[in-house]
Amino acid sequence: AEELKIAVGAMEISDKTVGDVMTKIDDVFMLPDTTTLNTKTVAEILRMGYTRIPVFAAGDRNNVVSLLFVKDLALLDPDDNFTIQTVCNYHQHALRFVLHDTPLRVMLEEFKKGDYHLAMVNEIVEHEDQDPSYQLQGVVTLEDIVEEILQAEIVDE
Ligand code: ADP
């Protein structure tokens, strides 16, 4: 029965898109680049339990400019009071964007190349009186796609 589920999942992946499996923007834990990394904020970040945290600029959650990796905080001295921006500028982790209608198959192949395992998901919004713009819809990770294929919750180790 488990094999059948996986087979069905693998077949269904063909007509699903990134937008179907992503974590929606309102549920994404992200932080402003101006955040000071002191004992309190680092504790909060660790408590959330995510590996990667999108970082936005100018107080605009639609304006994600970098990724903070929780492992970047390991060697940080909280008394230095660095901002997230400083830490992100130092590490420069690649930040990737995909459109929400990207087929899961395409996204999976992209993740399999191994350069990155989280992408920001954008939607193109048309306007009457100005050029189209991007609206951030969420994040997608390799985990979201694997979970879709297995059609079962994967319990994190
Ligand atoms: P993590 O290692 O942080 O748990 P995974 O790649 O294993 O990340 O993804 C687990 C789930 O968490 C996925 O559904 C993914 O979309 C979601 N996710 C990843 N990062 C964040 C974040 N910063 N805020 C909210 N959800 C996230």
Highest mean pLDDT among 4-13, 23-32, 109-118 belongs to 23-32
Would the CB of 147 count as within 6 Å of ligand 1? Answer: no
Mean pLDDT of 36-41: 96
Tell whether the model's pLDDT for residue 1 goes beyond 90. Answer: no
pLDDT at 52: 98
CA distance 119 to 25: 12
Report the distance separating Cα 122 and Cα 135, nearest Å.
6
Answer yes or no: is the C-beta of 137 below 6 A from any ligand 1 atom.
no
**Is the pLDDT confidence value at 153 over 60?**
no
Across 127-146, average pLDDT: 95
Verify whether ligand 1 is closer than 6 Å to residue 23 (CB atom): yes
d(CA 2, CA 115): 30
